[in-house]
Structure 1
Amino acid sequence: MNTITKRIFTLLSVFMLIFLAGCGSSDSDKKSSGKSGGKVEAKIGVIAYMTGAGAAYGEAITNGLKLAQKEINAKGDVNIELVTEDSAGKQEQALSAGQKIMADNDILAIIGPTLSTEFKVVAPEAELNGIPIMGTSTTAEGIPQIGDYVFRNSIPEALAIPAAMEKVVAKTNGKKVAIIYGNDDVFTKSGYDTMKKEAEKMGLEVVTTETFQKGQSDYNAQLTKIKSKKPDFILASALYNEGAVIMDQARKMGIDVPFVGGNGFNSPQVIEIAGDAANGLVVATPWFGDSQEQKVVDFNNKYKEAYGKLPDQFAAQAYDALYIYADALERAGEADREAFHKALAETKDYEGILGKFSFDKEGDVVMDPTVVEIKDGKFVEFK
């Protein structure tokens, strides 16, 4: 082989290496962008309250997510993989679950944790890491204000509780109110703050304020005092476990006035635990399961077919949340956190099963709640 031939061969070898390297780079770029054959693919982390006293919340949320995931992936434009971790309703476990999820660089965004108490320790970590995170059941004050990457699609207590109180006052002409709330939980304390503020704003007389702790089973002392004050209705900020027991014991003591509950009461578990004692509970919710809107009827049927029971608010909010993520992912066109974050923040007038939904400039909910009550063992629209 002469010198000229050797040089030509060497140049051809170099060009071939460059070409192959370019091909390798193209494949790598395609993988990192989350695109496969025109389909946008993404991994979403989920932190849910799956074991423990409030496991019904986590079950409903993950059921709603899995149903939405199946439908979204079947459409073909977006493919979502869910990576789920159990928080057990505990801050430290939620934080560990969040850190485990965030350690995976392929995770695009997070849904959860379930409780505001848990969410408030995980969301700052997500904010620091530039990972979008959405609460589907976190209604305490200040959630979206944690940071730019923090969102929620659950109506805050600051909107829901006043809506329910106004309806009850208008119907009963009530003037005196008693308050009972859990003083060892961010969510229930936030609900109490809203109840107290709204009562003052409406000119209601708060005849007594009683507190309790998670896991408490005997409320005789608190309810005896409430009964002696003869309120026109009772404001209760509690999770469904304690809230249902409070109502059951109240009815057995002869307290028959309406209860106005916070978001923790928006579960069929209240009826299952309290039975007839749950009648007279009034709450505000974005989800009215007995609506005859076709999209609600269809969701109820699909959910019941999949899980053998009807969905609650938490299932519906989780279902819509994943669709909101999928919509933002499709608009972003790639599984890139910054592109996804920008598209998510721009969500406006999205039509979900809960109704028309938008984020405000802080990542909070823009939509109207429906006020419902438990009557004859089921949630009906309060009129």
Structure 2
Amino acid sequence: MRKIAKKSYLLISVFMLILLAACSGADTTGDGDSKNADGTVTAKIGVISYLSGPGAAYGEAITNGFNLALDEINEKGDVKIELVIEDSAGKQEQALTVAQKLMSDDDIVALLGPTLSTEMNVVAPEADLNGIPIMGTSTTAAGIPQIGEYVFRNSLPESLAIPAALEKAVAAEDAKTVAILYGNDDLFTKSGFDTMKEEAENMGLDILTIETFQKGQSDYNAQLTKIKDLNPDLILASALYNEGAVIMDQARKMGIDVPFVGGNGFNSPQVIEIAGDAAEGLIVATPWFGDKDEPKVQEFVKKYEEEYGAKPDQFAAQAYDALYIMAEGLKNAGEADRDALRDALAEIKDLDGVLGKFSFDKDGDVVMEPTVLVIKEGKFQLFE
């Protein structure tokens, strides 16, 4: 009798648990897949960002962009997203460690980041192997979306940005000769150099010298002296903002007055903050221009300034749009499932964002036109 009573009690308990689950208004499958009774998809997304160390301004802007978009998306209610944010400190090993931690959580349906192409080069293969969609919002080195079918990016690659900037600079200066300066210990800056060299050669420019440096270097006297003696029409520089700003400052102090054409790492207000007047005349290409006279852009700028007390840069704008792209993917997938989200992301076409209309190509790379800017009177302006 005791056994029968115990079995009856267990059956009743199981029945009550099933009933409670059915009445809870959510359906959870254990693969990060949940949907509310009203059809709203809920999802956790992991973020890997460069939040401490010398390049933390990138990660701060990116995280701000995510958080601003998060509030808006959750308020609209089509999808509900929770972000789980981890710091990579701009280091490959740490980026991989936190990525593995995030990927081990079955409730996390996708990853955003990491910040640097060098980090993405080790994290993306792991994400692809684990079948979790990963989107770079600031990774612009060649070949990243080609790592695997789960790898995407919405950041404009150097292969599109640098040629656009160089074409305009050459036309404006009637340039015939260039010197190239790049960081040779970073995938991102090395990739930028590769594009600069290839494009300069394609345009028939005479490359007078190629100079290299390392992350954290503070003295560029030897490289800049050689460049000054050769007197090029333009200096092409592939660097993160820390080194790039110092290079320009030292160049101007040495009397080098030719224009710099920068890679994507120069697209930060920190360049102006560090280099001051020495940043004047820097030419860059970017998908983002905060002074664009479009309601969507100006609304974003206003909200960002109110929230963070500064104007958004390219990295904040790309992150803001990236979370909206993820939200669109979740909405179209109809569930917080990794495979379904990957397929939905691949189908996104002409989504309106603050950067303009956005689509992915067949490789998961961005389809977008760059805008060429110049630093003039202490701020980024259209280069015309």
For the superposition of Structure 1 and Structure 2, which TM-score range results when normalised by the shorter chain?
over 0.9
How many Å separate the matches in 1 of 2:10 and 2:377? 81
Q: Which residue identity is paired with 2:267?
A: N
- Pairwise CA distance, 1:56: 0.1
Q: Which residue of 2 aligns with 1:3?
A: none
2:272 match: secondary structure: helix
- Pairwise CA distance, 1:171: 1.1
Q: Which residue of 2 aligns with 1:5?
A: none
5 Å-filtered alignment, 1:44-123, equals 44-123=45-124
Q: Which residue of 2 aligns with 1:4?
A: none
TM (norm. structure 1) is: 0.94
Q: Which residue of 2 aligns with 1:34?
A: 34
- Pairwise CA distance, 1:296: 1.0
Q: 1:277 to 1:18 in 2, by over 3 A?
A: closer
Where do 5+ consecutive residues of structure 1 fail to align?
1-11
Q: Which residue of 2 aligns with 1:167?
A: 168
How many Å separate the matches in 1 of 2:114 and 2:352? 24
Structure 1 residues 286-295 or 44-53, which shifts more?
286-295
Q: Which residue of 2 aligns with 1:187?
A: 188
Alignment of 1:293 onto 2:290: no
Q: Which residue identity is paired with 1:334?
A: E
1:30 match: secondary structure: strand
2:28 match: secondary structure: helix
- Pairwise CA distance, 1:20: 5.6
How many residue pairs align between the two structures? 373
- Pairwise CA distance, 1:301: 0.4
How many Å separate the matches in 2 of 1:238 and 1:27? 56
Q: Which residue of 2 aligns with 1:142?
A: 143
Over residues 319-364 of structure 1, what are the superposed CA-to-partner deviations in whole Å (9 max), with x where a residue is unaligned?
0000000011011111011111111110100010000000000000
5 Å-filtered alignment, 1:1-383, equals 23=19, 30-32=27-29, 33-37=33-37, 38-383=39-384
How many Å separate the matches in 2 of 1:14 and 1:254? 85
Q: 1:180 to 1:15 in 2, by over 3 A?
A: closer
- Pairwise CA distance, 1:229: 0.6
1:244 match: secondary structure: helix
How many Å separate the matches in 2 of 1:140 and 1:216? 22
- Pairwise CA distance, 1:25: 7.3
- Pairwise CA distance, 1:289: 1.0
- Pairwise CA distance, 1:14: 12
How many Å separate the matches in 1 of 2:333 and 2:202? 43
Q: 1:257 to 1:14 in 2, by over 3 A?
A: closer
- Pairwise CA distance, 1:290: 1.3
How many Å separate the matches in 1 of 2:327 and 2:366? 18
How many Å separate the matches in 2 of 1:216 and 1:339? 45
2:194 match: secondary structure: helix
How many Å separate the matches in 2 of 1:47 and 1:16? 45
Over residues 93-123 of structure 1, what are the superposed CA-to-partner deviations in whole Å (9 max), with x where a residue is unaligned?
0000101101101000000000000011001
Q: 1:243 to 1:105 in 2, by over 3 A?
A: same
Over residues 61-91 of structure 1, what are the superposed CA-to-partner deviations in whole Å (9 max), with x where a residue is unaligned?
0000000000000011111000000000000
How many Å separate the matches in 1 of 2:202 and 2:265? 23
- Pairwise CA distance, 1:244: 0.1
2:335 match: secondary structure: coil
How many Å separate the matches in 2 of 1:194 and 1:170? 18
Q: Which residue of 2 aligns with 1:9?
A: none
What do you get for the CA RMSD once the two structures are aligned?
Answer: 1.8
1:89 match: secondary structure: coil
How many Å separate the matches in 2 of 1:290 and 1:221? 38
How many Å separate the matches in 2 of 1:93 and 1:20? 45
Structure 1 consecutive aligned stretches of length 4 or more whose deviation exceeds 4 Å: 12-29
How many Å separate the matches in 2 of 1:107 and 1:18? 28
How many Å separate the matches in 1 of 2:14 and 2:51? 51
Q: Which residue identity is paired with 2:27?
A: K
2:321 match: secondary structure: helix
1:273 match: secondary structure: helix
Identity of aligned residues (%): 72
How many Å separate the matches in 1 of 2:18 and 2:256? 76
1:44 match: secondary structure: strand
How many Å separate the matches in 1 of 2:11 and 2:48? 49
Over residues 17-46 of structure 1, what are the superposed CA-to-partner deviations in whole Å (9 max), with x where a residue is unaligned?
996676477579812231112211000000
How many Å separate the matches in 2 of 1:26 and 1:360? 41
TM (norm. structure 2) is: 0.94
